[in-house]
Chains A and B, each alone.
Chain A
Amino acid sequence: MTGLLAGLDGNRLLRHVLGAVLITFLMTSLIVGLELVATQTGLSLRPRYHIVLYCVVVVALGSTAVFALAERSWRLPMLVGVVIAALLLVPLLTGNLASDLAFLLPFPVAPLNWLALLLPAFILIRAAQLAYASARPPAAAARRREMTRTGKLVSLGLGLLLILVAFAFPISPWGSRQLVDILTIVLIYIMLGWGLNIVVGLAGLLDLGYVAFYAVGAYSYALLSEYFGWSFWVCLPLAGLFAASFGIVLGFPVLRLRGDYLAIVTLGFGEIIRVVLINWYEFTGGPDGIGGIPRPSFFGLPFQANPPRDGGETFASFFGLSFDPYHRIAFLYYLILVLALFTNWFTIRIRKLPIGRAWEALREDEIACRALGLNPTNVKLAAFGIGAMFAGFAGSFFAARQGFISPESFVFIESAVILAIVVLGGLGSQLGIVFSAAILIGLPEFFRELEDYRMLAFGLVMVLIMIWKPTGLVSHRDPTIRLHPRGDGR
């Protein structure tokens, strides 16, 4: 017993855990403990305190482990992790979910029960790390210094490798229809993340209404093709242009504002555009959206089974292939991949131009910039407009891929998700955005069957990643150049 609690203050631990249990019980007592059931006469309440009990048990075990881990003790968390894992694994492996232990697994879907194992797994890994660290003192400092030197090479290599894999994926044996579809969605968000990164990561402007420009791009293509019958390839640059001009027009009055005021005004603009889209029924189709948006063609060759009526060729007949819907999916995938990589290339290049330098300088110190004769409004407007342009490109691709758009797709939560991708990835880090988009968008797409739990976990993951790594997954936010190298002491 004493060995188990080594290095821990038993009283404090007890107080901590009891407090957490009490608070959890009170918090869940009404909202979770009583279910509102619709009856003929109104609402009635149905108790279900077994779920409250479940919450309390989880919080008790979890807070014990967290407290002990925070105090750098590993034996107790190890035990807790094993207990939780055993409680979860026994009914899972025996398939005996209806047993007495069933109250521990209230989830209606099997994958979620398996996912629940992540909690004990995490506790065990962390405990093992601590045990390892207590066994031998680390030489971390020396290793870290070496990391920064090779870090740039590693991320470059990793980036190139990722690009290669991304290009090869659809023609590889693993490239199934469903997987390529999911990756296309992830790529849209990566592109949006890279676009927003110009605004938030480089120029340091907090934009909570980025989805508005995405919407402008999508509606530009949808409306232009509906009213004028223009093709995707004509509309793509136009959509970017429209979105950029929207960005500049909206940005002009508000970019004088600082920080959080800018955030709320951009949020407001995002909502305004959505409300206008919903209510301008004659022009945008209102909440019904716009359907039947033509899909992009491969340099004039459409993807369809039968040749078009005017006698042209289809993609399949031109290349002598048999028609396969997979061609179109793969083509869309490559299209967004190229668009996203273009965004990335553009960002990397523009960081080295005067305007890119000005963005980073402005982010670091606005007063100093003004003293050096930069016009902050123009510099910010450029960032805002260029960021919006990429959202416009992504938007018109989105419209072309879906074939149907409605204001539903452009709600605030989308802006929040894109911002979360940028911040979780590590502000200003191009590679980090890929990782966080894969985690935030890719994983939930795979777990569609979890339905409501998906967004719950999404919110939780956002909080946990931020607590774990407040500067983002791949955290470097250094300016591209420095007068004096870091740690120079000047």
Chain B
Amino acid sequence: MEYFLQQLVNGVTLGAVYGLIAIGYSMVYGIIGMINFAHGDIFMIGAFHALIVFLILGAVGISWLPLALLIVLIVGILLTSLYGWSVERIAYRPLRSSPRLAPLISAIGASIFLQNYVQLAQGARPKPLAQMVSGGITLVQSDAGFAARVSYIQIVIVLLTLALMAVFTWLIKGTALGRAQRACEQDRKMAALLGVDVDRTISLTFVIGASLAAVAGLMFTLYYGVIDFFIGFVAGIKAFTAAVLGGIGSLPGAMLGGLLIGLIEAFWSGYFSVEYKDVASFGVLVLVLIFRPTGLLGRPEIEKV
């Protein structure tokens, strides 16, 4: 029971991180129909920004945690979203009307570039960060002495994710930008005819996606305490799997998919084997796609002549 609860807590935390990255994939896929392969690397750059800003703050002497977190959040989002914007501007926008595979290759190229750029700039060694938040709450303790615990970091991560989801849902449902975005998603040409600035909307979609990835990067840095230039690849694939699992193009689906992937990973590593946790999440993905090809919450795509 305690063990189960502990895996549940770990899975939800992991799922929150995956979900935030998955939203970026899902939004971009929804609006321009391409897999943004560089998104995982944007997440990695977000993690690096968080680490560097934490170190600057430590050097300056700001140690009150809420303030430090807020500064890291703002600076990280600002700088990381610039990467999202530039990648779209340089690598994707010129290819918007070309064959479907061209932007995909360009995206893979951008991903390789970003990975090696960070490796060149900061070296290949893993970068550790001293633990910022320690301690936690013990939920249940079994007779055998095993305790299910929620660390404060996990609470921060889940709360931050919930808050972001609320802001994000409002952004999509209630603002002019969200309306423009949904319009572009349905029919780009029609939206342009009705006066929606399509280029700007797509750019902003990338900026929002990158911001969420930056927050995910911050969480990853806090939670694991070690980052390197390669974390973006694995997290990116998992998050994309999550987006497909939830139904690509659907934003609640992305969050749900992220949560599911996180839980599958946590429970599989907890009860079966850590080594095969990736196999488990991909296996579930394959099963879902075979029996429900549009993902859990995706709308069926009807192909017409």
Main secondary structure of the interface of B (DSSP, over half): helix
| With known contacts A45-B56, A269-B282, A463-B113, A36–B244 Cβ distance under 8 A | no
Binds A, one of B61-69, B146-154, B191-199, B285-293: B285-293
Q: Say whether B48 faces chain A, with CB atoms less than 8 Å apart.
A: yes
A264 to B95, CA, bound (A): 21
| With known contacts A27-B83, A36-B51, A471-B99, A279–B275 Cβ distance under 8 A | yes
Contact with A along B48-83 (1 / 0, CB 8 A): 110111011001000000000000000000110011
Interface hits, B81-106 → A, CB 8 Å:
82-83, 85-86, 90-91, 94-95, 98-106
Beta-carbon contact of A461 and B79 below 8 Å? no
Interface hits, B199-251 → A, CB 8 Å:
233, 237, 240-241, 244, 248
Beta-carbon contact of B108 and A420 below 8 Å? yes
Q: Say whether B128 faces chain A, with CB atoms less than 8 Å apart.
A: yes
Beta-carbon contact of B283 and A272 below 8 Å? yes
A264 to B99, CA, bound (A): 19
Beta-carbon contact of A31 and B293 below 8 Å? no
Beta-carbon contact of A29 and B79 below 8 Å? yes
Contact with A along B258-300 (1 / 0, CB 8 A): 0000000000000001011011001101100110010000000
A275's partner among B116, B121, B275 (CB-CB below 8 A) is: B275
Interface hits, B101-160 → A, CB 8 Å:
101-106, 108-123, 125, 127-130
Q: Say whether A83 faces chain B, with CB atoms less than 8 Å apart.
A: no
For this complex, into which size category does the number of interface residues on chain A fall?
Answer: 35 or more
Beta-carbon contact of B278 and A261 below 8 Å? no
B105's partner among A275, A420, A460 (CB-CB below 8 A) is: A420
Contact with B along A13-51 (1 / 0, CB 8 A): 000000000010011011110111010001111000000
A254's partner among B56, B78, B90, B289 (CB-CB below 8 A) is: B289
A267 to B236, CA, bound (A): 12
Q: Say whether B35 faces chain A, with CB atoms less than 8 Å apart.
A: yes
A276 to B110, CA, bound (A): 29
Minimum CB–CB distance from B63 to chain A (whole Å) comes to 15
* Residues of chain A with a CB closer than 8 A to B1's CB: none
Beta-carbon contact of B59 and A45 below 8 Å? yes
| With known contacts A26-B79, A31-B122, A254-B290, A455–B109 Cβ distance under 8 A | no
A43 to B114, CA, bound (A): 22
Using CB atoms, name the residue of chain A closest to B78.
A26
Main secondary structure of the interface of A (DSSP, over half): helix
Binds B, one of A123-131, A301-309, A328-336, A411-419: A411-419
A43 to B59, CA, bound (A): 11
Beta-carbon contact of B113 and A268 below 8 Å? no
A263 to B240, CA, bound (A): 11
A30 to B75, CA, bound (A): 10
| With known contacts A264-B240, A268-B286, A416-B108, A27–B79 Cβ distance under 8 A | yes
Using CB atoms, name the residue of chain B closest to A281.
B275
| With known contacts A253-B286, A276-B279, A467-B95, A43–B55 Cβ distance under 8 A | yes
* Residues of chain A with a CB closer than 8 A to B106's CB: 462-463, 466-467
- Known: A30-B49, A36-B123, A423-B101; 17 extra A-B contacts, CB below 8 A, are A31-B48, A31-B49, A35-B122, A43-B127, A44-B55, A45-B55, A253-B286, A256-B293, A257-B289, A260-B29, A268-B241, A268-B286, A271-B278, A419-B105, A427-B101, A462-B108, A477-B99
Q: List 26 A-B contacts (CB under 8 A).
A: A23-B86, A30-B49, A30-B53, A30-B79, A31-B118, A36-B122, A36-B123, A42-B129, A43-B55, A43-B128, A44-B55, A45-B52, A206-B101, A206-B104, A253-B286, A253-B290, A254-B289, A259-B100, A264-B244, A267-B237, A269-B286, A416-B112, A458-B109, A459-B116, A463-B113, A471-B99
Nearest 8 CB-CB pairings of A with B: A462-B109, A459-B113, A470-B98, A459-B112, A268-B282, A463-B109, A456-B116, A470-B102
